[in-house]
Structure 1
Amino acid sequence: MPLHVPPAPAPALRSVLTALASPTAVREARTPSLLRAQGPATPELPLPVHVLEHISATGAPTTRLAGWRFLIRCGDRAVAAAETMLTPDGWAFSRFFEGPYIASTELALRQAETVQQPYQPRLLSVPGLYMLTLWLHDDPTADGATGHPAGTDLLIPLAPAPPGIAAHRPHRVAELLPALTRRVTPAPLLSSPAA
């Protein structure tokens, strides 16, 4: 089933295209793959990046939109990614980067295309665990910049995943979030017995 990739805000895409056209921006990015890329580099697959901020006592997640991430393709593969962020003046280019999450995102997107139900792909960052997941939202027509993970949505942890969490194994939000909550929530301090 094809994924329904939400459209990125036009100013976000323009900021990435401008950065790609700027030799200074590419040089300062210090991404060897992007510097060595032969041929045109094109931004593809814009994914909204949401940050998991809090999980309530009832298990309801609170997220916020942190930006949009574009895979930068050169030829037949993604060589880097570009992120944009919302500023008081609108969407602006943030940075180019590379690393294991580029290939892992591509792999997770290929996995998601084999699922029978239509989904909208997003990224969900869990800062407390240094974790990034492909979030498959079950409403493919939703505004990609809004919303919270629903219990029936799928999360696919990207590699490298935290110890004990298998990368590239899809989980329902209702199954994975409680496990993440236990890992992120500090254990209560035990009081010492009175002497």
Structure 2
Amino acid sequence: MPLHVPPAPAPAHRSVLTALGSPTAVREARTPALQSAQGPLSPELPLPVHVLDHISPDDPAPCTRLTGWRFLIRTGERAVAAAETVLTPDGWAFSHFFEGPYVPSTERALRHAETMRTSYQPRLLSVPELYMLTLWLHGDTDADVTGGTLGPTDLLVPLAPAPPGITAHRPHRAADLLPVLTLRLTPASLLGTPA
């Protein structure tokens, strides 16, 4: 089943196109792959980026907050970098370019998700306290991307590099992975064990 990739806000897309057309923005970016790319660069596969700030053992459906949109920057057949946009008081604006392991890992996870039998709305979910990024496959393909409630049957695909003990690129139901994350994020004193 195909993924239902939500359209990015037009100002976010325009801000990335403007940055790609700016020699200064590209030259000052710490992305050698972007600077040395041959051929035209295009922003593709925009994904809303949500952050999971808090997980609680008694919250079966934790909420997230939308923090930006990420675009994979392609040249030819592959993504060489990514561009991030953020919401400012004046609207969506370009934030920065970057490269690294999450770019090919995101591309790989999206390719795998395209082969699944169920349709999903793809998002990215960041868990900053664990230095973890996942592809969030939201079960409601018509959902407003600004909404951030994780459904128990939503799938989370940890991107590489994943935290120790969590396998990258293995889809997990949110209901199964969230308790693992909760244990890692909950202080020992709250679990009743000595620190």
Task: Please give the TM-score of this superposition, normalised by the length of structure 2.
Answer: 0.95
Structure having the higher strand fraction is 1
Cα distance in structure 2, aligned partners of 1:30 and 1:176:
33
- Residues 1:186 and 2:187 aligned together: yes
CA–CA distance in structure 1, aligned partners of residues 89 and 71 of structure 2? 21
5+ residue gaps, structure 1, are: none
Would the aligned equivalents of 1:16 and 1:82 in 2 still touch at CA under 8 Å?
Answer: yes
Task: Tell me if structure 2 keeps the 8 A contact 1:53–1:61.
Answer: no
Query: Would you identify which runs of 4 or more consecutive aligned residues in structure 1 move more than 3 Å?
Result: none
Aligned counterparts, 1:6-25, within 5 A: 6-25=6-25
What residue ranges of structure 2 are gaps of 5+ in the alignment?
A: none
Identical counterparts, % of pairs: 75
Superposed CA deviations along residues 94-152 of structure 1, whole A, max 9, x for unmatched, are 00000000000000001101110100000000011000000000011111222311001
Please state whether the residue corresponding to 1:61 is helix, strand or coil: coil
RMSD: 1.1
Q: Partners of 1:146 and 1:8 in 2: how far apart?
A: 14
Is the CA contact 2:4–2:120 (under 8 Å) kept in the aligned structure 1?
A: yes
Deviation at 1:90, TM superposition (A): 0.5
| Aligned equivalent of 2:133 | 132
SS in 2 for 1:53: coil
| Mapped contact 1:55–1:61 kept (Cα < 8 A) | yes
From the CA coordinates, give the structure whose radius of gyration is larger: 1
CA distance in structure 1 between the partners assigned to 2:55 and 2:18 by the alignment: 37
The answer (yes or no) to whether the contact 1:11–1:91 under 8 Å persists in 2 is: yes
Please name the residue that 1:35 is paired with: 35
Name the structure 1 match of 2:53.
Answer: 53
**1:1-195 residue pairs with structure 2 within 5 A?**
1-56=1-56, 57-188=58-189, 190=194
- The alignment partner of 1:85 has SS state of strand
